[in-house]
Amino acid sequence: MAGLGAFPGLPLLLLVSLLWVSGSGASVWPQPQFLSVAPLGGCLLSAGRFRFGYGGASAVGPGCSVLDQAFLRYWELLFPFGRRQAGKDHSDVPVCPNLLVSVAEPGCDGYPSLDSRENYKLTVSEAQMLLTADTVWGALRGLETFTQLPWRDEYGTFYVNKTDVVDFPRFPHRGLLLDTSRHYLPLSAILETLDAMAYNKFNVFHWHIVDDPSFPYESVAFPDLSRKGAYNPATHVYTPTDVKIVLEHARLRGIRVIPEFDTPGHTQSWGPGVPGLLTPCYAGQKLSGAYGPVNPILNTTYEVMTKFFDEVSLVFPDFYIHLGGDEVDFTCWKSNPDIQEFMQKMGFGTNFTMLESFYIQRLLDIVSSYDKGYVVWQEVFDNEVKVKPETVIHVWKENGGSYQEETARVTKAGYRALLSAPWYLNHISYGQDWVGVYQVEPLAFEGTPEQKELVIGGEACMWGEYVDVTNLTPRLWPRAGAVAERLWSNQTVRDLQDAYVRLADFRCLLLRRGIRAEPLFTGYCDHEYNIF
């Protein structure tokens, strides 16, 4: 459970929301590390004249796919009505110059990685507007910040105040998990989520693509997996082309895609497509007709996994693959006489954790042979499976605060940790549950500074039992924004009243950009969401 029951800040927030009216700009979400906005001055941002451009010293220029396309996108987000944007010319206010973007390192065609630098500096004044970054990924973050700065007067004219920003993320891994197995999410819903992720400076899309209920990933090596395991093999699948579209949409926004193929549990949907892969369960002496987790005692199982992960490691360019490993139910294994015999032969006795470890170790060896790293759910660590030192352990179990202890144990053993336990956004409750999400401090566990260094970030999770395309977006946004700020901004950025005002403002920005984000509380936006 996500433990979001308490809302200590609520009376305060009630008051704030009554007083709050649409601000005059410079509320940025997530809060930059250093932001200074002058209370006056600035310049007029004219749709007719304003352009993004490359700085003279930039190592990348026209033809850089990532930035060329970002310029187009952000220009349209700034001026949704195009060049004929309404507005009055105020001769007393200077017109802003173009925003020049300067990137120090060449490289526009690659993919972002865990090591990519996303720092940037932004200087805005009537004399010059300059965005500098080490990499194109940092430039993308800076463009996002820049487009959150302008404000409009009552005539619809855009202004941007004199502003200085120096910014970088607190954690390098800031992820969001979507579950496309429990409900199929159409491609457009995934692409829209990637857009909104970029607005929040999230940089990892954790694609929990298959699970027990359905197998929508269309495999070239094993086409029967989706043919027999998808809800509908014609309409409810992700074709190789769909996957390429997701990867490129994400790349252009500086977002990594980490696919998850969870085994040996959570694999019911694999069964029909690969006969013999799952363990047959017994009722007494007889086969019951049901199937359990992947059958770990057959050589064919590892042949299937070798071929399957060969494909996966080529399709998904990121170094990391998420291999799951959570919630393995031993009941079926226990019922099966062949498994019992294998256990005796291997000297496992009746310790099924050892059988699970046996499977996972072989799987990890297969995946590392493709030069890939892996992320696994915490049970793999809890069950003492021998993993490579560079494995990332994903902490998800939330039992009365024990995730802090788990993070301490994981990092004490020298593994890197990712936090999701307090960030299960599929859990909802009445009231402002973003507050509990926001108040989490990922490093609030007992440990040395070296241990804290091993926490590479976290992920907001949107499991799909009760979520499909109808409620995905309002359930995600702006609530996931609370996680985004926790992972991007300085640890000291925790003031609930300030966060409320900025998040409410940011939610209005999301509406303007066409994202159907739900309200935090009473209030209004200048531009409400238009269903038509």
Ligand X SMILES: *[C@@H]1O[C@H](CO)[C@@H](O)[C@H](O)[C@H]1NC(C)=O
Minimum Å gap between C-beta 42 and ligand X is: 6
Give the CB-nearest residue to ligand X.
Answer: 26
By C-beta, is 241 or 351 nearer to ligand X? Answer: 351
Alpha-carbon distance of 462 to 469, in angstroms, equals 12
Minimum CB distance to ligand X smaller for 315 or for 354: 354
Query: What distance in Å separates the CA atoms of residue 258 and residue 320, rounded to the nearest whole number?
Result: 6
- 76 versus 384: smaller Cβ distance to ligand X: 384
Which residue's CB is nearer to ligand X, number 381 or number 477?
Answer: 381
Find the shortest distance in angstroms from Cβ 384 to ligand X.
5
By beta-carbon proximity to ligand X, the closer residue of 177 and 274 is 274
Task: Say if strands 373-377 and 256-260 run parallel, antiparallel, or are unpaired.
Answer: unpaired
Pick the closer one to ligand X by CB: 467 or 493.
Answer: 493
The β-bridge relationship of strands 151-152 and 158-160 is: antiparallel
CB of 394 to ligand X, least distance (A): 20
Q: Which two tokens stand for residue 126?
A: 């009537």
Amino acid at 79: F
Give the burial class of 326: count Cβ atoms within 10 A of its Cβ; 0-12 exposed, 13-18 middle, 19 or more buried: middle
CB of 357 to ligand X, least distance (A): 5
> For residues 319 and 358, which CB has a smaller minimum distance to ligand X in the complex?
358
DSSP per residue, 78-90: H-TTGGG------
Tokens read off for 159: 């202004």
Residue 314 or 346 having the CB closest to ligand X: 346
**Would you state the structure tokens that stand for residue 183, as one six-digit string?**
């409900």
DSSP state at residue 181: S
Q: How far is the CB of 188 from ligand X (least distance, A)?
A: 35
Question: Could you tell me the smallest distance in angstroms from the CB atom of residue 17 to ligand X?
Answer: 19
Structure tokens at 401: 């605060």
Report the distance separating Cα 352 and Cα 350, nearest Å: 6
Sequential DSSP letters for 491-527: TT---HHHHHHHHHHHHHHHHHTT--PPPSSS---SS
From CA 336, how far away is CA 338, in angstroms rounded?
A: 6
For the record, the structure tokens of 507 come out as 């939610």
- CB 60 to ligand X: min, Å: 27
* 248, 327, 384, 528: the active-site residue: 327
In the complex, the residues that contact ligand X under the rule CB under 6 A are 24-26, 33, 37, 39-40, 42, 161, 299, 351, 353-354, 357, 384, 490, 492
Q: How many separate helices (H) and strands (E) can be counted in the chain?
A: 17, 19
**Phi, psi values for residue 377, rounded to 5°:** -70, 160
Q: How far is the CB of 505 from ligand X (least distance, A)?
A: 11
The nearest distance, CB 317 to ligand X, in angstroms, is: 30
The overall longest dimension of the chain from CA atoms, in Å, is 90
Residue 20's nearest CA partner among 528, 431, 501, 520 is 501
Whether 398 is catalytic is no
Q: Cβ(355)–Cβ(339) under 8 Å?
A: yes
Smallest gap from Cβ 26 to ligand X, in A, equals 3
- Number of C-beta neighbours around residue 25 at 10 A: 19
Q: Which is nearer to ligand X, 196 or 294 (CB)?
A: 294
**459 exposure class (CB count in 10 Å sphere: 0-12, 13-18, 19+):** buried
> Within 13 Å and on the Cβ side, how many CA atoms surround 260?
30
Contacts of 446 (CB under 8 A, 6+ apart): 404, 408
Are the C-beta atoms of residues 203 and 256 closer than 8 Å to each other?
A: yes
21 or 40, CB closer to ligand X? 40
Other C-beta atoms within 10 Å of 82: how many? 10
Residue 99: φ, ψ to 5°: -90, 115
If 0-12 CB within 10 Å is exposed, 13-18 middle and 19+ buried, where does residue 220 land? exposed
**Residues labelled as active-site residues:** 327
